[in-house]
């Protein structure tokens, strides 16, 4: 079968999957955890505990602050020490619940047994409620509340559930490892989401550079026998894992500007999200753990790691467990090198969507910018069909109307333009700020309607 891919743009950075052969290790518990109230896209969660309260692992400690929001659970058992602002990864003050760790006593009703549960509940509302109450969010980067995404609005029907196992960002290997080590649970989670969406087909997309994961997923699909489910092999191409790019590759449909995947009958979920859905529905286990990669081009081979972590763990604690951040580190990134965010504060705590601590060396320093040579490589590389060189110029002169007309709001911030620019123009930096301005104007305009 032909390998699938999206139709325009894209680049081919080196894989650098240095930790691909490192099995997932469980991190020990730290002395304290700091649980952010911004674990998800949307409104901040509201604490439902007070200073001095005793909490158990898996107990709800914060409730959703709006329709687009999620429950937050304690990742440990212990005593609530403080509730207040603390700096996050980007250095912003965000409300956290600080808990003194006193053990790992789990709340009642949570199944911690390793036995695979394949019988899927018949009640759709029960499944959605379990996913909601367990605080499951998308683990592919956006952390959108999963129960909302799995409940399309009236008039919209899901024709295809696409499970994203591409992990196209260089260095990251956590999705690859769970595809190998938790394959059956991921496939059951996919079947659960199929059930909620009305029995649509399910396509599990995995890039060709992960043959072991492809084989494992295919074997699990065949063994478990869920209908209308298959594995698709995708070309190694960045950003293959983007929602719109996956839909283009798998369904050969394009999401229009301002549209949503469900507009073309698609729902896209990450393989990590599928595992979290399995644990929520089949085990009543809330999303308090995830897998992250400690890696980088300057991290010695023996210290590359894939860790199962609890939310709220300080990054400094995790780095210490991995032997510390190398002294020659020039840049620390949370996420991949293309779309990840610089770590401004190593004492910041992990959140549900944390995917890595990436240590990069001297060769990743930004080159001095030189004049644009009008080569249009940025436009050729853009998977959204935009003209980054033009958007940068329009941002420089403050023409927000022209920016909107040229669809800056459609930018997925993948970094292909900046990666491909021979003049080292900081295209993404400028376009990201331009997009924020235009999105603010669009939201204000919509609010008046």
Give a yes or no: residue 215 inside a domain.
Answer: yes
**Mean pLDDT (whole number) for 255-262:** 92
In this structure, the answer to whether residues 288 and 410 fall within a common structural domain is no
d(CA 39, CA 55): 19
Instruction: Please report the DSSP string for 378-442 in residue order.
Output: HHHH-TT---HHHHHHHHHTT-HHHHHHTTGGG-----HHHHH-TT---HHHHHHHHHHHHHHHH
Q: What is the mean pLDDT of the chain?
A: 96
* Residue bearing tokens 């058992």: 77
User: pLDDT class for 9, splitting at 50, 70, 90?
Assistant: very high
- Residue 390 CA to residue 431 CA, distance in Å, equals 10
Tokens of 108: 């009642």
Do residues 219 and 136 share a domain? yes
C-alpha torsion sign, points 379, 383, 386, 391: negative
Q: Is residue 336 part of a domain?
A: yes
d(CA 139, CA 271): 8
pLDDT confidence of residue 3 = 87
Q: Mark whether 426 and 324 lie in a shared domain.
A: no
Q: Is the pLDDT of residue 364 over 90?
A: no
pLDDT digits (tens, 9 = 90+) for 26-69: 999 999 999 999 999 899 999 999 999 999 999 999 999 999 99
Domain count, the chain: 2
Model confidence band, residue 149 (pLDDT cutoffs 50, 70, 90) = very high
pLDDT digit string (tens) for 188-245?
999 999 999 999 999 999 999 999 999 999 999 999 999 999 999 999 999 999 999 9
d(CA 63, CA 424): 45
Residue 225 to residue 211: CA distance in whole angstroms: 21
DSSP state of 362: G
Q: Which domain holds residue 143?
A: 1-26+110-365
SS3 track for 56-73: CECCEEEECCCCCCCCEE
Backbone angles phi, psi at 239, to 5 degrees: -100, 80
pLDDT classification of 448: cutoffs 50, 70, 90: confident
pLDDT higher than 70, residue 297:
yes
**Do 155 and 238 fall within a single domain?**
yes
Confidence (pLDDT) at 266: 98
289 and 391 in a single domain? The answer is no
Same domain? For 361 and 385 the reply is no
Terminal C-alpha separation, the chain: 49
Decide which of 318, 345, 365 is a domain's last residue.
365
Q: Are residues 355 and 382 in the same domain?
A: no
Average pLDDT over residues 81-107: 96
Q: Which of 332, 365, 398 is where one domain is finished?
A: 365
% of the chain beyond a pLDDT of 70: 100
8 A C-beta contact, residue 289 and residue 75? yes
Q: Are 315 and 351 found together in one domain?
A: yes
pLDDT at 449 over 80: no
Which of 341, 365, 389 marks a domain boundary?
Answer: 365
CA distance 175 to 442: 35
Residue 165 lies in a domain: yes
Which pLDDT band, with edges at 50, 70 and 90, does 354 fall under?
very high
Residues 331 and 423 in one domain: no
One domain, residues 192 and 245: yes
Q: Give kind and range of the element (H or E) at residue 222.
A: helix 211-224
Flag whether 92 is in a domain.
Answer: no
* 41 belongs to a structural domain: no
User: Is the pLDDT assigned to residue 434 strictly greater than 70?
Assistant: yes
Residues 355, 443 within the same domain: no
Buried residues in 279-300 as b, exposed as e (16+ CB within 10 A): bbbbbbbbbbbbbbbbbbbbbe
153 in a domain, yes or no?
yes
Residue 99 belongs to some domain of the structure: no
Is residue 427, in this structure, part of any structural domain at all?
yes
**Torsion of Cα atoms, 48 then 51 then 55 then 60, to 10°:** 20
pLDDT digits (tens, 9 = 90+) for 304-344: 999 999 999 999 999 999 999 999 999 999 999 999 999 98
pLDDT tens figures, 365-421 = 889 999 999 999 999 999 999 999 999 999 999 999 999 999 999 999 999 999 999
pLDDT band with cut points at 50, 70 and 90 for residue 1 = low
- Does residue 122 carry a pLDDT above 90? yes
pTM: 0.96
The answer to whether the beta carbons of residues 230 and 185 sit under 8 Å apart is no
Same domain, residue pair 308 and 167: yes
Average pLDDT of 348-368? Answer: 94
CATH number assigned to the domain comprising residue 301: 3.40.50.11540
């Amino acid at each position: 079968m032909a390998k699938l891919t999206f139709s325009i743009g894209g680049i081919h950075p080196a894989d650098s999957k240095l930790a691909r052969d490192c099995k997932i290790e469980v991190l020990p518990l730290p002395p304290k955890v700091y649980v952010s109230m911004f674990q998800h896209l949307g409104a901040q969660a509201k604490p439902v505990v007070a200073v001095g309260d005793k909490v158990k692992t898996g107990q709800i400690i914060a409730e959703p602050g709006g329709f687009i929001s999620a429950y937050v659970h304690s990742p440990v058992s212990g005593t609530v020490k403080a509730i207040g602002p603390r700096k996050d990864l980007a250095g912003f003050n965000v409300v956290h619940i600080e808990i003194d760790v006193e053990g790992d006593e789990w709340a009642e009703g949570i199944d911690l047994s390793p036995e695979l549960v394949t019988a899927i509940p018949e009640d759709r509302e029960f499944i959605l409620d379990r996913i909601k109450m367990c605080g499951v969010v998308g683990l592919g980067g956006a952390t959108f509340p999963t129960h909302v995404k799995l409940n399309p609005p009236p008039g919209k029907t899901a024709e295809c559930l696409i499970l994203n196992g591409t992990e196209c960002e260089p260095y990251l290997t956590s999705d690859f490892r769970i595809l190998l080590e938790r394959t059956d649970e991921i496939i059951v989670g996919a079947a659960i989401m199929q059930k909620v969406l009305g029995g649509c087909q399910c396509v599990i997309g995995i890039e060709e550079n992960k043959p072991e994961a492809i084989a494992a997923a295919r074997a699990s699909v065949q063994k478990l026998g869920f209908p209308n489910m298959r594995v698709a092999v995708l070309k190694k191409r960045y950003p293959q894992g983007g929602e719109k790019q996956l839909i283009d590759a798998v369904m050969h449909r394009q999401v229009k500007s301002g549209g949503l995947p469900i507009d073309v009958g698609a729902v896209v979920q990450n393989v990590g999200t599928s595992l979290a859905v399995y644990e929520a529905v089949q085990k009543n286990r809330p999303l308090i753990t995830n897998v992250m990669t400690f890696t980088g081009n300057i991290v010695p081979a023996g210290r590359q790691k894939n860790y199962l972590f609890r939310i709220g763990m300080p990054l400094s604690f995790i780095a210490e467990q991995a032997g510390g951040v190398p002294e020659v580190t020039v840049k620390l990134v949370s996420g991949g090198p293309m779309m990840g965010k610089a770590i401004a504060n190593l004492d910041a705590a992990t959140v549900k969507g944390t995917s890595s601590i990436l240590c990069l060396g001297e060769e990743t320093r930004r080159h001095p910018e030189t004049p644009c040579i009008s080569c249009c490589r940025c436009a050729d590389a853009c998977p959204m069909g935009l003209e980054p060189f033009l958007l940068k110029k329009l941002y420089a002169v403050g023409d927000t109307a022209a920016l909107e007309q040229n669809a800056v709001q459609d930018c997925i911030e993948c970094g292909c333009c900046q990666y491909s620019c021979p003049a080292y123009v900081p295209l993404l930096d400028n376009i990201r700020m331009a997009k924020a301005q235009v999105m603010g104007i669009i939201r204000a305009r919509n609010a008046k309607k």
